[in-house]
Structure 1
Amino acid sequence: MKCYEQKQFKNGLRHAKAILSNPKCTDHGETLSMKGLILSAMNKREEALELARKGLSKNFRSGTCWHVYGLVLRSEKKYEEAIKAYSNAVKWENRNQLILKDLSHLQIQMRDYEAFKKSRLDLLTLRPTLRASWIGFAVANHLLGELDTAFDVLEEFRTTQNKTEGQRSRDHDSDYENSEIILYQAKILIEQKKHKQAVEFLEKNTEEILDVPQYHETLGDLRLILGENDQAEEHFTLLVHRNPEKRVYYEKLAQAVEATSDPLRINEFYDAMANAFPRSKLPLLIPLEIVDGEIFSKRLRHYFKSSLRKCLPNIHVTLRPIYNDATKRNELEQLALSFLAQLENTESMEDGDERESPACLVWLYHFLAQHFDYLKDYEMALRYVNLALEHTPTITDLYVTKGRIYKHAGHIQYAAACLDEAQSLDTADRYLNCKCCRYLIRAGEVEKAEKMAEQFTRENTTVQENLKEMQVLWFQIECAQAYYRQGKYGLALRKCCEIENVFADVTEDQFDFHNYCMRKMTLGEYVEMLRWEDSVREQKYFRAAALIAVNIYIQIHDGSWNPETGGSASAEANLSEAELKKLKSKKKKEALKKKKEDEKKKKEGAKRNAEPVKEDPLEPEKLLKEAQEKALEKAKEWCQWLETLSPNWLPGQVAAYELAKRRKQPFQQLRAVKRLINHHGLDNAAVHFTVCDWISQAKQTIDSVEDEVVSKVLADGHGEIQALTGDVASYNKKYLTDNRSSYPHRLQVARVAKIVEKSDDIESIIEGDFSAGTIDDYKEGVALSKSSKLIEAAKSLFPLAIEFGAESDNPPRMLKEFDQSNGQKNEK
């Protein structure tokens, strides 16, 4: 046991062998179990589990054997079985603190708060003098919502731990821990809405609180809630002086001095802040979002002019919040154009101003390019970014902006070429490297992106392994989406599973904090971490991966994916026999090449290591085989996260509806439809198709249910929906009439007409005003309807998009003009 604790595993195995070689101790249960635990620590899991079970069978009443068995199960992530093993260990050794502590950690990991509270109470009873015993019991009560008990336990602990000033000064760590407990108690009072008591409690213990920012933030917020603005002003004034770059401090200080509604008062307040903190941008930016009229014009002119003179590349980003207001946006455009005319003619921004730096004009071009890109006027955006490049062709930000314009315009190949150019100008810039990788992946150049990423990954390992180890989620999800678009479903599933493994590791890593936070007293942050962990899979990368995986499994189940070619069956229907044969041949060559590479890697690994190379559980072929055998079961595993953790996320609920429809689960279908209506409303274009699809088949689905109670519940739920809509034909017609001016809404009406109603009259529905909609909406519309008006509208809105007929091999006209004017020959 000592060797295990000191991680001297070989010595531990030698001692175990010495004991077990004695004929009298061959079946000694505790030794067998400890040998299994040591092997588990050495990653020999199968052998470890076998020895742990054998040791338990030899001594069923040993707390040590049950404890070791629980530890081995925990390492295998079989948490529920491990809890049972720990509970049995406690039965035989109910005073063993280590077993109780491990049991409590597993219970909090599984969010069994009642059992966690009992275990912490047992630990407190065994060791009432131990600080962690009190803290753990208080946290258990807090998590269960028993806030009064939690506060009282902590207060009782603090009174028993009171020290003299001399003792406290000698124990600095204890001072910090006491400070954390006080702030945690204040947090409990705030959760109880006892704001007055929280203020009194904090003021009573002011001298013992060492976290000054947290103290003033908490008291300032409480003062604002209680309407004590004068005292709140003192707290936030101190905080602003400590950190003049934190936006929330300005906003709350403005609230305290009542500078939130009157424009003159707002102007006066932020002028004072700007004078007090001349190097901070926030006092200049925040009022631009609040005020309007003459005050706005004056402040905007001052900020815009000073930013241009400083040659700031992020002017558009900082002013993005005002773009929601069309009046402010137009005024900003007019101001920028007026400055441009003056700079081009007189090299000054206004009459009477001094001559400006030449760089000022470059960054004004840069701003206007970003501005018109935001307005989707890509021709003007490219014009200004090309003018900037003609002026100074060595600024990497200009190439990044140009690439972004091409991306928004629908030509990701040109976008990737621009980012490649930017990256070549500064190969040591990690941001440019990552940005270029992202664009290359979106352009379908995954291998090229991996080679570029190698510049910043660790040596002596593959780039895929290194990125997976470093949990570079943006790279993984971009690869997953690229493979999904290319029809390489095995590789896409592999990337999705790697992303899921990252989140599983994040959940697993909680174990490191259950003990640490109890010792270090970071209680408030610990509780926040637990609550955050409960919703960690709501993060955008996981949701995107889950959506890709569910869609892949659904398409495989529907037969809309060809396993021979790895492409969409609907897309291949338009190919000739020769093209289809060529596609199959290409797929076979790629598979053969990959097989040879895998065999080569295995041989190299076998040479380096004496141990045989383990089989990869995420092998794309293996994942595809599982998908073909049980597609809906695999889709359900992914979709349950979307259903439970992201009930408000529209794409997730649409996917949940489609999966439930194929699994013949009408309850889940109805739930998804209700969630879509409740959270997004019937006016949302993306909701319309799913609602109509449910209405069209609900009666048939309900009639097929044999159980009368179930049938009645479904009928009642369907009745509520139909009361809002009516039958599909009349509802779809009315929906078109109400939303005739919106292209995204007309597109969904056309989808319903073609897929649900089986109508051929699509062109008359989809034609109309084409001013709104994303490039994906227009791609879908062109695929759905061959309307010439729609195609022409798509070409005019996205003239650089290859899908709508733009040239793909040569640079577009504007890029040619720029290259010729500089005497350059840039094939990109």
Structure 2
Amino acid sequence: MPQVLSAKERSLFQTVVRNYEDKQYKKGIKAADQILKKNAKHGDTLAMKALIMNSQGKTEEAFALAKVALQCDMKSHVCWHVYGLLWRAVKNFEEAIKAYKFALRLEPESAQIQRDLALLQIQMRDYQGYIVSRKSMLQSRSHIRQNWTALAVAHHLNGELAEAEGVLTTYEETLKNPPSKTDFENSEAVMYKNSLIAEQGDYQKALDHLESAGKHNLDRLAILELRATYLTKLGKKEEATKAYRALIERNSEYKKYYDGLVEAMAIDAADHKALKAVYDEYAEKYPRNDAARRLPLDFLDGDDFRETADKYIHRMLDKGVPSTFANLKHLYSSSFKRETLPSLVQQYINSGKSEANEEPKRNGDTSKGASSAYYFLAQHYSYYLSRDLDKALEYIEKAIDLEPQSVDFHMTKARIWKHYGDSHKASEIMEQARTLDNRDRHINTKAAKYQLRNNENEAAIKTMGMFTRAETVGGPLADLHDMQCVWFLTEDGQSYARQGKVGLALKRFMSIYNIFDVWQEDQFDFHSFSLRKGQIRAYVDMIRWEDKLREHPFYTRAALSAVDLYLKLHDKPLANGTNGAADGDEDASERKKAAKKARKEAQKAEREALARKNEPNKATKEGDSDPKKKDDDPDGAKLAATTEPMTDAMKFLTPLLQFSPNSIDAQIAGFEVYIRRKKYLLALRCLLAASALDNEHSKVHSQTIRFKLALDKDLATLPPKVAEIIKSEFTLLPESVSLTQFNNDYLSKYEDCARRTLSGLSARKLLAHDLAPSTDADVVKVLKIDNVAMEEAVEGLELLQSWKSGALEAFRKAAAAKWPNATVFAASS
């Protein structure tokens, strides 16, 4: 039976609750201990004490005490609620939901428990449960608009659009007086309801609602944009045209408005004359407008394109606009436009126009036309679709001669050297560009990025430190972690991976994984905040964005790099588990020293862990619930010393396969992990998915052969049902053709493609070890293939390195002769 408190102790218990809410944890503990002196088994007090201890960082002790509280009073909703809060604090939302539901059965009228449960349900995307919780909250407090809106959102996210609209309509019918025109919450609710109507496809109803309820809405731009969209979809061309013209009057640089106007006017895409007339009208109306002059270049061709492009380029070069090439490079998908644009720039230079333009001069310089023209041509010849690096370097040098203080010109010069493959020279020149403007954050980050590409990690940290907070404990790197600077952590990790410093590389990639976890968890506070502030449309957009969070290229890049490292650790574990090259040729004495150092670090970490256990973390000041934790693995030695690299790889791989199923790189990585784990069904699923995305991909070919070889080896050990499924689904190989013949046919078919040839040669190495010398020689011959790219040559170099081939130096010399500036082919010292 639960102990009953006296009136004085009940008052003291309320003091404990207030102390917790006010973050006065020491006072709360003291008050709780006073109660427990006389009532040692009072469950609610024990639970509150556990909650306070958890806020002080004593998580293990808090859980132990919370379990004691439950043993003392299993029927206390406070004990179960606190137990749920503790699970929520450690991110175990499933267990927290169970505890909340138990607490709610004991105290169905508790608004606090109901709210906490609802927040976790939406966090976990339990939409059905969220609807039930929101209905219950609405029934108990139907006078609060937030409860109505939240129920509508619950139905909306569950795909029940009509029900969501009905909830909002019901609330509107309960209002006795119309809301104020300046009521922001009502304004957003009206627009949200309109979006629900539109999502159902009833554009006439959405338009009518917009004209009536949204007439005086605070978001005027959204009203104008939606009205134009609805009118277009309803085929009301004249009204839609007028609506889009009104939008262009507001913002004449927005491409979407021009596209909408053209669609509303029902102009045929092939009628270039009519299309150009639309843009010419606004180019004449707004003399400084860029969009109306640039957009016609997308659809014009032939002489019309040449004439319009000539005028546009002259205008931009006269003004010395640095982004001229960036504005036009999307046109390079057309070979005609790719050849025409540089010829027009060359004509501009030859005509002498560049030396005597009539535009106002900048910074007292004589002319920007010539330098801008040279800059354009340098970017043109540096671009991958029109690459001629010698010419690019020639033109950028001319531009720099005219404007030696231009940051943009030096940046492009550095980029040209990057394309040459000389990362050292590129980093050096980018650093020169940075010194031209020490206050520019963009060039600062570019310089750091190039330093990382050249494996200058410490220099990059120092460069970034110019724009980080000086007072941050741990220096610039700690601040970059705090600021969640994902690009830097990714580049830093990949740099360490190239250097063979596996621990530090994994450390960076794990940091990125944790940052995405934080972004996932950060939405928690917005579930209540957005409803409280009435920002419903932004909230729904955030929920949908969070659902696709792991599709982000930043995560994909880091995850694939981490998986690749774990694959290498599986194939060739580090000799000592520490940072450094994973090379079996290092001296025995060096290995012994490294192993001794690793043991000492492990023993030190154990001692520190024991000390923390005996003396748990204390907050630095009263109310500080997030004390700074010491990093017990600063160099990633523990990560690199993993005994289960494939299990660790799954942590990164699972979100990739779940949220980026159309990424062929993710499927290829999935196959590599599953084939090593002997999960043949899962490996086959990844292989079939990759094949469906690109059947001719080089990796698909080699993985098909490897899968067949692995299957033949282990088929007898597989369960009959699994073997039967694999046999029926694995149809990538013709039954009547041997693997050798299949591979030879592939090599013959793609003899002009370096990457596919390398894949075929890699497969040949597996199939015929006796042909190893000739296979190695054929890898060297890949360099003679027309249009072989430097990136493909690097793959060939890495392939020979993995084989420890005797042809490695011959390949390196041939590649160095073909790309003399590329540092990757330089002889190793």
Q: TM-score band, normalised by the shorter chain? A: 0.7 to 0.9
Mark the runs of 5 or more structure 2 residues left unpaired by the alignment.
Answer: 1-16, 359-364, 612-616, 801-806
1:110 corresponds to 2:124 = yes
Instruction: Say which of 194, 206, 224 aligns to 1:198.
Output: 206
Q: Look up the match of 2:467.
A: 456
TM-score, normalization by structure 1: 0.87
Tell me if structure 2 keeps the 8 A contact 1:692–1:728.
yes
Asked if 1:229 is matched to 2:242, the reply is no
More off after superposition, 489-498 vs 243-252: 243-252
Matching of residues 151-190 of structure 1 within 5 Å: 151-161=165-175, 163-164=177-178, 168-169=180-181, 172-173=182-183, 176-190=184-198
- Aligned partner of 1:430 in structure 2 is 441
Report the Cα offset of residue 513 of structure 1.
Answer: 0.8
1:712 aligns with 2:727: no
1:439 counterpart letter in structure 2: Y
Q: Which residue of 2 aligns with 1:821?
A: none
Q: CA deviation at 1:208?
A: 4.4
Pick one of 525, 536, 542 that aligns with 2:555.
542
Contact 2:46 2:65 in 1 (8 A): yes
8 A contact 2:578–2:637 mirrored in 1 = no
Deviations 1:231-281 (A, max 9, x none): 222222222222223221222222222343311112111111212333232
Distance 1:717 1:193, change over 3 A: same
Distance 2:210 2:46 in 1: 55
Separation of aligned partners in 2, 1:221 and 1:158 = 26
Q: Is the 8 A contact 1:560 1:568 kept in 2?
A: no
User: SS at the partner of 1:557?
Assistant: helix
Do the aligned partners of residues 562 and 402 (structure 1) sit closer, same or farther apart at CA in structure 2, a change above 3 Å counting?
farther
- Given the alignment of the two structures, is residue 779 of structure 1 paired with residue 800 of structure 2, yes or no? no
Question: In structure 2, what residue type is equivalent to 1:102?
Answer: D
AA in 1 matched with 2:21: E
**Structure 2 CA distance, aligned partners of 1:303 and 1:535?**
40
Which of 768-777 and 517-526 deviates more? 768-777
Deviations 1:759-791 (A, max 9, x none): 433345754863435422111224446499976
Change (3 A) 1:248 1:755: farther
Q: Aligned residue for 2:281?
A: 272
Q: For the structure 1 residues 636 and 729, does the alpha-carbon distance in structure 2 shift closer, same or farther, using more than 3 Å as the test?
A: same
Instruction: Give the structure 2 partner of residue 444 of structure 1.
Output: 455
What is the one-letter code of the residue matched to 1:327?
F
Query: In 2 relative to 1, CA 618–227 (structure 1 residues): closer, same or farther, beyond 3 Å?
Result: farther
Superposed CA offset, 1:108-127 (max 9, x none): 11111111111111112212
Query: CA separation of 1:206/1:26 partners in 2, compared to 1, >3 Å: closer, same or farther?
Result: same
Which of 798, 801, 822 is the equivalent residue of 2:819? 798
Cα deviations by residue, 1:64-108 (Å, 9 ceiling, x for unpaired): 111111112111111111111101110110011111011010011
In structure 2, distance between residues paired with 1:589 and 1:337: 65
Identity of aligned residues (%): 32
Measured at CA, do residues 497 and 565 of structure 1 come closer, stay the same or move farther in structure 2, by a change above 3 Å?
A: closer
Which string of whole-angstrom CA distances, capped at 9 and with x for unpartnered residues, describes residues 787-824 of structure 1?
9997677446533102334999xxxxxxxxxxxxxxxx
> Partners of 1:665 and 1:742 in 2: how far apart?
32
Cα drift, residue 691 of structure 1 = 2.5
* Partners of 1:408 and 1:589 in 2: CA distance: 43
Q: State the Cα distance separating 1:17 from its structure 2 match.
A: 3.2
Residue 582 of structure 1 deviates from its aligned partner by 9.2
Shift in Å, 1:520:
2.3
Higher mean C-alpha deviation, range 489-498 or range 514-523: 514-523
Q: Which residue does the alignment assign to 1:825? A: none
Match of 2:432 in 1: 421
Residue 155 of structure 1: how far off its partner (Å): 0.9
8 Å Cα contact 2:503/2:640 also seen in 1: no
1:765-776 to 2 correspondence within 5 Å? 766-767=781-782, 770-776=785-791
What CA distance in whole angstroms lies between the structure 2 residues aligned with 1:757 and 1:247? Answer: 58
**Deviation sequence 1:309-336 (CA, Å, 0-9, x none):** 1111111111111111111010111112
User: Could you say if the C-alpha distance between residues 725 and 392 of structure 1 is closer, same or farther in structure 2, counting changes exceeding 3 Å?
Assistant: farther
Superposition deviation, residue 531 in structure 1: 1.6
Question: Could you list the runs of 5+ residues in structure 1 that have no partner in the other structure?
Answer: 351-355, 809-828
- Does residue 1:692 correspond to 2:705, yes or no? yes
- In structure 2, the residue matched to 1:408 is 419
Matched residue type, 2:334? D
Query: Which residue of structure 2 lines up, in the alignment, with residue 505 of structure 1?
Result: 518
Aligned to 2:261: 253
Q: 1:585 to 1:318 in 2, by over 3 A?
A: farther
Which of the residues 679, 683, 700 maps onto 2:696?
A: 683
Match of 2:403 in 1: 392
Deviation by residue 1:364-417 (Cα, 9 ceiling, x = unmatched): 221111111112311111111122222332211111111111111111110100
Instruction: Pick closer, same or farther for the CA change 1:595–1:279 going to 2, 3 Å.
Output: farther
Tell me the distance in 2 between the aligned counterparts of 1:349 and 1:788. Answer: 55
Q: Is 2:29 aligned against 1:16?
A: no
Counterpart residue number, 1:554 = 567
Q: CA deviation at 1:157?
A: 1.0
C-alpha change, 1:551 and 1:767, in structure 2 (3 Å) is closer
Q: Is this contact kept in 2: 1:657–1:668, CA < 8 A?
A: yes
Q: 2:677 aligns with which of 663, 666, 672?
A: 663
Greater shift, 255-264 or 57-66, is seen at 255-264
Query: In the TM superposition, what is the alpha-carbon distance from 1:645 to its structure 2 partner?
Result: 1.2
In 2, distance between residues paired with 1:807 and 1:245? 53
Aligned residues: 781
Of residues 744-753 and 447-456 in structure 1, the stretch that sits farther from structure 2 once superposed is 744-753
Deviations 1:124-151 (A, max 9, x none): 2212222122122211111221222111
Secondary structure class of the residue paired with 1:664? coil
Provide the rounded CA distance (Å) in 1 between the counterparts of 2:827 and 2:368. 34
Compute the displacement of 1:437 (Å).
0.6
CA contact under 8 A between 2:357 and 2:367: conserved in structure 1? no
Aligned match of 1:814? none
Moved more, 135-144 or 559-568: 559-568
In 1, the alpha carbon distance for the partners of 2:174 and 2:760 equals 71
1:547–1:655 contact (8 Å) kept in structure 2: yes
2: CA distance between counterparts of 1:225 and 1:772?
48
Match of 2:631 in 1: 616
In the other structure, the counterpart of 2:42 is 28
The letter for the 2-side match of 1:188 is L
Asked if the contact 2:36–2:42 (Cα under 8 Å) also holds between the matched residues in 1, the reply is yes
Q: Residue type matched to 1:799 in 2?
A: P
Q: Secondary structure at the match of 2:321?
A: coil
Q: Which has the higher contact order (CA 8 A, sep 6+)?
A: 2
